[in-house]
Structure 1
């Protein structure tokens, strides 16, 4: 494992009060249930909403759109084609959008960086410890979905 990937993995593992638990879960299952509210929170965004904002449901196009708009880590639940996206934000970041913010007393299944799983996948991996999405950018991206849907109905 390269040093950057190792540092990012450790930063994520440190979300758990017992980081060794995260490492053990990653070793055994490829995914660890990490508590939110300590290192990061997550905004759960329905797939249809992000696909509308990206103008596509094609994984590469969606990833490119998210990378350019959000500049931070995003996960996706892959258990169904409607699986939501989870945009990681700082616990103290302001979020006022209609999408659900997940925080304290909630756990999120997080794959080990650099190791995709069948259940959850990094769409945009965390590149630097602590560099999370700016919720203002997420709000701006999601604000494009309703106008795009209106244009598509004409």
Structure 2
């Protein structure tokens, strides 16, 4: 059985392998707590606005959001607070981005895109942090669960008014 330290090391190594020079990712985590990792080979990321996530979950309080995302997505989620508000990045299989069809509502980032990925023990603000850290090497969210969350958070069209 793996110890928590072994699991942390293996999961960190898996994330670092997304970088062309994994040692560089480890150095960035050591110095800045966040490493810029390219998307599209090990994993992709679906960018979700805070408004969409909060609408889908029916809450905005950080601990309730974290619990709900853990339950609903069953995989890793990163939080970043941008000038436009909170943003969540859901990690999924890299090839899912090739057929992802949610456009600007929930774009799938891959290809020539880099994502700021926090060190595994960075699980609260300030800065970029894991809302739901990966639990093991290769831990990713299932695209269907992400689709269901996006569908739940998108504004629904108003029903037609009777004439």
TM-score, normalised with respect to structure 2? 0.85
Is 1:55 matched up with 2:62?
A: no
Distance 2:12 2:5 in 1: 11
Gaps of 5+ in 1: none
Distance 2:118 2:45 in 1: 14
Distance 1:65 1:148, change over 3 A: farther
Is 1:20 matched up with 2:23?
A: yes
Distance 2:26 2:35 in 1: 8
Greater Rg by CA = 2
Q: Residue 107 of structure 1 aligns with which residue?
A: 114
Secondary structure (helix, strand or coil) at the match of 2:26 reads helix
Cα deviation, residue 24, structure 1: 0.7
TM-score, normalised with respect to structure 1? 0.89
User: How many positions carry a matched residue from both structures?
Assistant: 150
RMSD: 1.9
Distance 1:31 1:148, change over 3 A: same
Distance 1:90 1:104 in 2: 13
Cα deviation, residue 120, structure 1: 0.5
Contact residue 79 and residue 119 of structure 1 kept, 8 A: no
Distance 2:132 2:6 in 1: 18
Secondary structure (helix, strand or coil) at the match of 1:92 reads helix
Gaps of 5+ in 2: 159-163
